[in-house]
Structure 1
Amino acid sequence: MNFRPRHRDEPEINLIPFIDVLLVVLIFLMLSTTYSKFTELQLTLPVANVEQQRNRPQEIIVSVAADGRYAINKTALSDTSVAALTQGLAGLAQSRPDSVLIISADATAPHQAVISVMEAARRTGLAQITFATQSSQAQRR
């Protein structure tokens, strides 16, 4: 019987295959990642003179009251029909073809009243429409 203690070799952990696998994964991730580059169009932006002022488009303001009455550029309309709105906007649209229609409606105005203004604008050819609002801080005061 041999009672001598056996000499055991300590196991070695070979890190080279582990590093190889990690490098392959890293290369795969680098190649498959898409970067957001907007190089499809090469643009040269125009230079503008700072002293020149912009020409602002003409504004047509249509006010809609809470009870559904209309006013075009602070001139009240007696009729609340779409035809009356179209007739009122038609003269202004012909004299100012590139004008912007601003709808300034009361917060409690009927939805149909605002839609009627939009329909009248469509009939007269006014394509640029925006809505006037106020900040929430001004409403709290």
Structure 2
Amino acid sequence: MKFPRKPREQVDINLAPLIDVVFILLLFFVVTTTFTRETRLKVDLPEAVSGEAQQAAEPQTLEVLIGVDGSYSVNNQPLAVNDLKHLMDKLVEASGGNQDYPVTISADGKAPHQAVVTAMDAASKLGFSRLRISTVEAEEN
């Protein structure tokens, strides 16, 4: 005897609630994520065998970072335009017009020589007399 088979019910998975949950999670992660942009220049300092280590940090110093592409940053704030006028304006702003602050130039070892000379020229034109050039101590072979 042959029994009639029951027709199989179509099994449907409703994806609408799943999509809603995914979109809510996506929105949550977008809103709670912080996007930080690194504004510091990566500088590989040149090596030097002679020289003396910097003494205890002074209360206020001006640090001019020069990147490998010749871009400037004064006290970890990059310049929008990398030329002498904007560098001088940023140094005056950072020092508040006080020319007694020491200026430390930290240039990448592969930075263009002209960029270093421009930074020294800007400090000189503004009357800064305490100028330092940062290096790292050479490794002994």
TM range (shorter): 0.5 to 0.7
Structure 1 position 124, deviation (Å): 1.4
Aligned length: 86
* Partner in structure 2 of residue 114 of structure 1: 116
Give the aligned residue type for 1:61.
E
Give the aligned residue type for 1:122.
S
| 1:39-61 Cα deviation digits (max 9, x unpaired) | xxxxxxxxxxxxxxx89352100
- The counterpart of 1:136, out of the listed 125, 131, 138, is 138
| Secondary structure in 2 matching 1:137 | coil
TM-score of the superposition, structure 2-length normalised? 0.55
Which runs of structure 2 are paired with 1:72-111 in the superposition (5 Å)? 72-111=74-113
| 1:2-22 Cα deviation digits (max 9, x unpaired) | xxxxxxxxxxxxxxxxxxxxx
**Which is helix-richer, 1 or 2?**
1
Tell me, yes or no, if the aligned pair for 1:57 and 1:98 is still in contact at 8 Å. no
Aligned residues with identical type, % of pairs = 30
Tell me, yes or no, if the aligned pair for 2:105 and 2:134 is still in contact at 8 Å. yes
* Partner in structure 2 of residue 127 of structure 1: 129
Give the aligned residue type for 1:60.
L
| Secondary structure in 1 matching 2:106 | strand
TM-score of the superposition, structure 1-length normalised? 0.55
Greater RCO, 1 or 2 (C-alpha within 8 Å, sep 6+): 2
Look at both structures and tell me which one has the larger radius of gyration over its CA atoms.
1
Superposition RMSD in Å: 2.3
Q: Which runs of 5+ in 1 are unaligned?
A: 1-53
* Partner in structure 2 of residue 9 of structure 1: none
Which runs of structure 2 are paired with 1:3-82 in the superposition (5 Å)? 56=58, 58-82=60-84
Structure 1 position 95, deviation (Å): 4.8
